């Protein structure tokens, strides 16, 4: 009877399921933290500042109240992490607040301190970021904290100088297509509230004082100048990208080759670069200390080398510009070396979980960036796959000779590329609408080259450069850059090197992410359930229809998609950047992009143009694209929707049709139209705008 009374109560079905995840709270914590941050960025309106705090306190109180109930406690902990992510994102958005330029200002006199410089191309253009900005006819409370300018005649411009320029400024552009990449939001979190260009040469007002960060930025520029001077513009531009994180000098042709061959990831300084760079220092320091027996026998040289390796990773992050992937990699690298110093196994799911949690807590906006998503997806998949293969792998390695071990190394390289490609494929297809199909082959050549040749040379370069002895090292690196370029161009020309898709809805990416997390992290049969969101995502992608009409946010560019898959635009000379994004989103080749006919009808589209505008008949709907105010009254009587292109001014008239003009672009950004047919055969229009999709938020005020 006493033994029966001492038995623990049955936790029930859900209690037994939750018990399967005991000890995995650390692994799941960043996932729910990221979901909470994602919820903040998905809101259509900016929530009250107290919303995140109240949500967190309420969930904390709920967790305390149900702390003795296993199932309720698990649910409350999930809600607490969601609230923490939401609150962290909201606090971060207010912390980095900067006024955003509302309207074009051209010309305007500006003064500010040069905070960053980057060479853009071979025509002498540089990109400068100014801070402590003063702008004529603009009060301080409406002046952006930082602005980014394109300068042609930069001369001897240096970090820390205070300059005065005459510039043309524009607000940072929003998404070129509803649901697309939001440049304005990303620049907001960098503190940049306006972009533009400079008339003439800047006037230097003072040399200014250089702080630590300005000194680091100046050193980066000096390293970049040295690379370009010795290696030349082409190889030097690639070396700049690999060593100091500046990619502006790489030509469009080389960028396309790197992207289409699956090598573009090497331009983003992340885990590969940080890991290889710090590993060189780790092994050199450990080997050097091991050569002296009195030191090796008395001191923990492995732990000393770990400290040196982390210091090298941190310094390399500063040299590379401290982007999201770089910061994530330094956090993970620090945890690896901390595990080494604590005599723990350094590669585990807890390692990546702690790194993700720390980064999302400090910079929650990373959750919506392609670099964060792809980096963590690749690392998570690699750790899980190799963790499951480790027993077999270790047995094969320990019982084999040098030939088997060499074969296992080659196999590990191939397996790493395959796993990383599969893990990052959904994110690559969502963000860039493309996937390099031969990336495994290209990385099979380039990754060992990076690890055994380029990164050791990079360490040696930074040691010899202050002594002026770096020229031979740079010449060797020049050869390595050439191999990377040659590999990229070779692989990019192979048949069917790139898979192109139309733009996916965000719901599809969420479904694919859920499927991946379930398959990698859930135990037993729970992981098999990941096939359900995977299939749902595939079905959603296959059934999503791209828009029929696209309108740029300034209403200077409008595009119509034909049933045969061509894109007709009103001009081929305006807003080429937005047009390029439309081409990728619709999966249309440049050869299939045509200009509206000047007069008459288009070849494969019921689009008829004349002086003053064009008329479009599609699925029974009538749209008018107006380029002259004098035809507005006539078109309002004919069309169901009238699109008025800038700079036409709309007179005060009654219009039976739905009227869209540049004022709508100012309010809600880029537009997309779908023309559907009801069961009765009557057409109806579905309109989405970037403002509705992305919300009226702090970065849109």
d(CA 371, CA 325): 6
Name the superfamily (CATH) of residues 105-210.
Answer: Nucleic acid-binding proteins (2.40.50.140)
Collapsing DSSP to helix, strand or coil, 615 comes out as: strand
d(CA 535, CA 457): 46
Signed CA dihedral, 439, 440, 446, 450: sign only? positive
Token duo for residue 248:
């502006």
What pLDDT, on the 0 to 100 scale, is given for residue 353? 87
d(CA 628, CA 613): 7
Token duo for residue 626:
């107006």
Q: Within 10 A of 599 (CB to CB), how many other CB atoms are there?
A: 8
Q: Show me where the domains of the chain are located.
A: 2-95, 105-210, 237-500, 506-543, 549-700
Spatial contact of 176 and 576, defined as CB atoms under 8 Å apart: no
d(CA 266, CA 284): 24
Residue by residue, DSSP assigns 8-58 as PPP-HHHHHHHHTTTT-HHHHHHHHHHHHHHHHHH-SBPPPTHHHHHHHHH
User: In the block, which residue shows the tokens 């009538």?
Assistant: 622
- The strand pair at 434-436 and 641-644 is best described as unpaired
d(CA 469, CA 459): 13
d(CA 167, CA 151): 9
Q: Where are the beta strands (DSSP E) in 223-328?
A: none
d(CA 295, CA 31): 44
Backbone φ and ψ for 199, nearest 5 degrees, come out as -85, 125
Q: Spell out a b/e string for 494-504, using b for 16 or more CB atoms within 10 Å of the CB, else e.
A: eeebbeebebb
What's the average pLDDT block by block, 10 residues per block, for the chain (701 residues)?
52 59 78 94 89 92 84 86 95 93 89 84 79 91 93 80 91 88 90 92 79 74 84 87 82 90 82 80 89 86 90 85 72 82 79 86 90 87 87 77 77 84 91 90 88 86 84 90 93 92 91 92 82 94 92 91 90 88 90 90 88 89 90 88 86 82 86 82 82 75 68
What pLDDT, on the 0 to 100 scale, is given for residue 17? 59
What pLDDT, on the 0 to 100 scale, is given for residue 3? 47
Token duo for residue 173:
């552009």
d(CA 111, CA 100): 17
Residues 6+ apart with CB under 8 A from 406: none
Spatial contact of 96 and 188, defined as CB atoms under 8 Å apart: yes
Helix (H) or strand (E) holding 221: helix 212-231
Q: Verify cis geometry, omega within 30 degrees of 0, for the bond prior to 107.
A: yes
Helix (H) or strand (E) holding 513: helix 506-521
d(CA 219, CA 231): 18
Q: Spell out a b/e string for 652-679, using b for 16 or more CB atoms within 10 Å of the CB, else e.
A: eeeeebebbbbebbeebbbbbbebeeee
Which candidate, 576, 541, 535, places its Cα nearest to that of 557? 576
220 pairs with which residues across the strands? none
687 pairs with which residues across the strands? 673
Token duo for residue 623:
């749209």
Using CA atoms, how far residue 397 sits from 344, 381, 392, 409, 454, in Å, is 21, 22, 9, 10, 27
User: In the block, which residue shows the tokens 């080659």?
Assistant: 410
Q: What is the pTM of this model?
A: 0.86
* DSSP H stretches of helix in 248-292: 252-260, 271-290
Backbone φ and ψ for 653, nearest 5 degrees, come out as -140, 155
Using CA atoms, how far residue 512 sits from 39, 506, 540, 683, in Å, is 17, 10, 11, 33
Q: Within 10 A of 38 (CB to CB), how many other CB atoms are there?
A: 20
């Amino acid at each position: 009877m006493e033994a029966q009374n001492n038995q623990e109560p049955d936790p029930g079905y859900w209690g037994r399921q939750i018990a399967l995840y005991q000890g995995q709270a650390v692994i799941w914590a960043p996932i729910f933290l990221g979901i909470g941050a994602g919820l903040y960025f998905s809101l259509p309106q900016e929530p009250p500042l107290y919303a995140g705090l109240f949500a967190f306190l309420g969930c904390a109180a709920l967790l305390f109240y149900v702390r003795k109930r296993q199932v309720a406690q698990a649910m409350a902990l999930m809600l607490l992490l969601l609230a923490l992510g939401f609150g962290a994102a909201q606090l971060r958005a207010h912390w980095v607040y900067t006024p955003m330029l509302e309207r074009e200002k051209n010309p305007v006199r500006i003064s500010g301190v040069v905070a960053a410089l980057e060479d853009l191309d071979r025509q002498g253009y540089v990109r400068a970021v100014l801070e402590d900005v003063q702008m004529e006819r603009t009060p301080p409370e409406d002046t952006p904290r930082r602005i980014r300018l394109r300068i042609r005649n930069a001369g001897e411009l240096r970090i820390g100088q205070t300059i005065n320029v005459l510039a043309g400024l524009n607000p940072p552009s929003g998404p070129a297509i509803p649901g697309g990449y939001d440049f304005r939001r990303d620049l907001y979190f960098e503190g940049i509230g306006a972009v533009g260009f400079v008339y003439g040469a800047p006037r230097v007002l003072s040399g200014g004082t250089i702080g630590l960060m300005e000194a680091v930025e100046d050193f980066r520029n000096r390293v970049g100048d040295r690379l370009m001077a010795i290696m030349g513009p082409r190889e030097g531009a690639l070396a700049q990208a690999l060593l100091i994180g500046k990619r502006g000098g790489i030509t469009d042709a080389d960028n396309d080759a790197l992207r289409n061959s699956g090598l573009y990831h090497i331009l983003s300084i992340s885990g590969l670069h940080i890991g290889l760079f710090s590993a060189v220092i780790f092994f050199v320091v450990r080997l050097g200390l091991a050569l002296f027996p009195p030191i090796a026998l008395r001191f923990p040289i492995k732990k000393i080398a770990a400290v040196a390796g982390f210091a090298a990773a941190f310094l390399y992050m500063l040299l590379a510009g401290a982007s999201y992937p770089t910061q994530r990699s330094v956090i993970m690298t620090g945890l690896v070396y901390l595990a080494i110093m604590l005599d723990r196994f350094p590669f585990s799911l807890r390692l990546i979980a702690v790194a993700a949690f720390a980064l999302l807590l400090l910079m929650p906006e990373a959750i919506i960036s392609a670099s964060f998503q792809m980096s963590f997806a690749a690392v998570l998949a690699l750790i899980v796959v190799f963790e499951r293969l480790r027993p077999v792998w270790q047995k094969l390695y320990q019982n084999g000779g040098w030939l088997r071990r060499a074969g296992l190394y080659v196999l590990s390289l191939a397996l790493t590329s395959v796993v990383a490609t599969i893990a990052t494929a959904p994110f690559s297809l969502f963000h860039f609408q493309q996937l390099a199909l031969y990336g495994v082959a290209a990385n099979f050549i380039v990754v060992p080259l990076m690890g055994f040749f380029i990164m050791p040379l990079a360490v040696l370069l930074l040691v010899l450069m202050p002594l002026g002895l770096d020229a031979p090292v740079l010449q060797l690196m020049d050869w390595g850059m050439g191999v990377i370029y040659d590999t990229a161009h070779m692989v990019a020309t192979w048949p069917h090197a790139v898979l192109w898709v139309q733009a996916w809805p965000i719901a599809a990416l969420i479904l694919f992410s859920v499927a991946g997390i379930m398959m990698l992290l859930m135990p037993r049969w729970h992981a098999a359930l990941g096939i359900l969101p995977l299939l749902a995502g595939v079905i959603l992608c296959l059934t999503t229809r791209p828009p029929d009409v696209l309108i740029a946010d300034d209403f200077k560019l409008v595009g119509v998609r034909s049933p045969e898959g061509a894109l007709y635009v009103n001009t081929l000379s305006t807003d080429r950047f937005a047009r390029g994004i439309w081409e990728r989103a619709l999966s249309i080749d440049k050869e299939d992009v045509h200009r509206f006919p000047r007069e008459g009808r288009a070849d494969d589209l019921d689009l008829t143009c004349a002086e003053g505008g064009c008329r479009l008949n599609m699925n029974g709907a009538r749209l008018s694209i107006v380029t002259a105010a004098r035809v507005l009254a006539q078109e309002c009587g004919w069309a169901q929707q009238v699109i008025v292109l800038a700079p036409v001014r709309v007179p005060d008239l009654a219009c039976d049709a739905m009227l869209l003009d540049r004022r709508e672009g100012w309010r809600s950004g880029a537009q997309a139209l779908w023309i559907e047919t009801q069961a009765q055969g009557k057409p109806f229009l579905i309109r989405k705008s970037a403002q509705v999709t992305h919300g009226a938020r702090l970065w849109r005020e």
